[in-house]
Chains A and B, each alone.
Chain A
Amino acid sequence: MKIYQIVKRLLIMILVWLVLVPSGFCGEPLTEINYRLKWLLNTSAAGDIYADRGGYFVENGLRVVVKSGGPERDPIKELELGRAHFGVASADQVIRALSKGAKVKVIAQLFQINPLQWIYRPDEITVSTPDDLKNKTIGITFGGIDENIMKAILAKSRINESQVHLYSVRYDFTPFYQGRVDLWPIYRNAQGPIIGARMEKAGETVGYFNPDAHGIHSVANSVITSDEILRDQPELVENFLSALLKGWEMAMDPDNAEKTIAMIHDADRDTPLAVIAEQLSLTRGFIQPNPDIPIGRIDVEAWKQTEQMMLDQGMIDIPVHIEKALEVR
């Protein structure tokens, strides 16, 4: 009799659990969304990692799958195919997509200054002004944003392309290490500390040519979503964006440096802690160059300049009026 009662109670408990769990007894179910980054999980995604591992997405009722990116993964295409809800893309990708009819909106700009710069050896060459680029061998990724930026610098400085030697770069730095190329494009915050340390170890000095310092403001990583999501699910966008920007604010706060470094290292095991610390310190300057600038601010003028640059170089045929795709808060 006693055993019968125990079994009966157990069955009732299981039934109650089965009924209550789907109806939200354990709290509101989380909305599952996919977030496609532009590149791999490293310091350039510090805030994304912080928002995810710090639990800010969950606090806002979201279960976000943060997916690393790469050259073969296009977040804009994934938005349109419904495989991602949000993504990270650079201005050139967004403008090119808009020119082909993609329905995409920019909801935040993560990098206020583009970290793309050119590394060189100051012992061998001096590159203080764009004029110093004359007669140099400059690495560019043909078809990449660095091609646009370098060609914009040359055009602005009235330097003919025949006055420089443009060298097609790949993923490995061998031609630069061998001295066959004078300037090589790198992401200052992510690759700079690694390549710079390697060169310094070999007894070489390191210099960086920064296009932004010479008036070329090209927009890098920005958060995007589709027109449809922005129109139909504004609450979702708000929840996602507030959690994401909170993550970025926390990650960029020097007081949280230790925690941020540990989180990044957890996602990017191959990069030593000391390198991540240096990368993070550099990243702060690109995300929030000035404390008055809120994290995530959309720099409309920089977007317009990027569009003009692409128009001038024939990368797009007609203006896309980029300001219409910017959701300035």
Chain B
Amino acid sequence: MLHRRIYQFFIIYCLGLSGLFAFKYTLGLSDYVIPSPTDVWSTAQEYLFPFSMDVLDTLGVAVVGHMISICLAAVVAVIGGKANWIGSFIKMAAYNIQAYPIVAVAPIIFILFGDGLTSRLLITAMICYFPLLLSFIGIVSQPVPDIEHFYDVTGQTTWWLPLKVRMFENTGKLITVISGSATVAMVGTIIAEFIAADAGIGYRIRIALYQSDLSKILVALFLIGICTSLYLFALEFMGKKIQQRMDVQ
């Protein structure tokens, strides 16, 4: 499964790169606009290792930020899913925060947390949590009448029980949503590094953009693709194992 995901990514990347080179040579563009294959190759040889370290740094932050956003979305969904004033208030606040462009909020984040790891994590979580929140709210606010009715009539219902039932019944959906949002976490971390950090692959891309160096960006994109594929595979693998265990039980 892993090797299939990787070679599929290779096919997509190579197709994209071929398209770019075809565009370059058809229009007769210089290496400044689109680098030549030899330029990309020599850049890859020089920067593959340092950029790999940067991508791993980014991946580390993306994983932690993803976990934070899962917890955040779960908490907000549980509270916001309630049909009372606090619930609607939390939901409204969560929706409003998401509506603000991150570049406008970034200066406030810098003032509060500086431009280190905390800011990167926070921005990643802010970008990543909303798609999760929407799915989580959908899941926790949708009753499972057959099962919940049983607990209701037997008087065993607590505030926590319906939540457990709904999450258990929608495990497959939850796993799909969580693994799907991994890509958003990676993108969120890169944006965070682009605007608020001095480390990670997003920061390297920003420098490459200042230098109009598309070769470095292409190398960075390759590594980002590989790392994202690996992370997605890891999440799907864990999800599969969890579901297998639950099926056995």
Name A residues whose Cβ lies closer than 8 Å to a Cβ of B: 71-72, 74, 76-77, 80-81, 93, 96-97, 100-103, 141-144, 168, 170-172, 174-175, 178, 315
Find chain A residues with CB under 8 A from B27 CB.
81
> Contact: A143 with B31, CB < 8 Å?
no
* Residue in B106, B203, B208, B209 whose beta carbon sits within 8 Å of that of A72 in the complex: B209
Min CB gap A265→B, angstroms: 25
**B196: Cβ under 8 A from any A Cβ:** yes
Find chain B residues with CB under 8 A from A168 CB.
198, 203
* Residue in B29, B110, B207, B211 whose beta carbon sits within 8 Å of that of A172 in the complex: B110
Find chain B residues with CB under 8 A from A172 CB.
106-107, 110
Tell me the bound Cα distance from A72 to B217 in angstroms: 14
Find chain B residues with CB under 8 A from A175 CB.
110, 115
Interface of B: prevailing SS:
helix
Find chain A residues with CB under 8 A from B30 CB.
80, 97, 100-103
B198 (CB) vs chain A CBs: closest residue: A168
**B62: Cβ under 8 A from any A Cβ:** no
Min CB gap B120→A, angstroms: 13
**Interface size, B (range):** 20 to 34
Having A103-B30, A174-B107, one finds 11 other A-B pairs with CB under 8 Å, namely A80-B32, A96-B211, A97-B32, A100-B31, A168-B203, A170-B196, A172-B106, A172-B107, A175-B110, A175-B115, A178-B111
> Contact: A143 with B115, CB < 8 Å?
no
B196 (CB) vs chain A CBs: closest residue: A170
Tell me the bound Cα distance from A71 to B111 in angstroms: 24
* Residue in B198, B207, B212 whose beta carbon sits within 8 Å of that of A96 in the complex: B212
> Contact: B33 with A77, CB < 8 Å?
yes
User: A81 with B210: in contact, given A168-B198, A170-B195, A175-B110 (CB under 8 Å)?
Assistant: no
> Contact: A170 with B115, CB < 8 Å?
yes
Min CB gap B248→A, angstroms: 51
> Contact: A96 with B206, CB < 8 Å?
no
Min CB gap B54→A, angstroms: 13
Name B residues whose Cβ lies closer than 8 Å to a Cβ of A: 27, 29-33, 35, 106-107, 110-111, 115, 195-196, 198, 203, 206-212
Min CB gap A200→B, angstroms: 21
Find chain B residues with CB under 8 A from A171 CB.
195
> Contact: B209 with A96, CB < 8 Å?
no
> Contact: A96 with B195, CB < 8 Å?
no
> Contact: A71 with B31, CB < 8 Å?
no
A145 (CB) vs chain B CBs: closest residue: B210
Name the 9 nearest CB pairs between A and B, nearest first: A143-B210, A143-B207, A100-B32, A102-B32, A101-B30, A168-B198, A100-B31, A97-B32, A102-B30
User: A101 with B32: in contact, given A74-B212, A96-B211, A170-B195 (CB under 8 Å)?
Assistant: yes
Min CB gap B7→A, angstroms: 32
* Residue in B35, B107, B195, B211 whose beta carbon sits within 8 Å of that of A143 in the complex: B211
Find chain A residues with CB under 8 A from B198 CB.
168
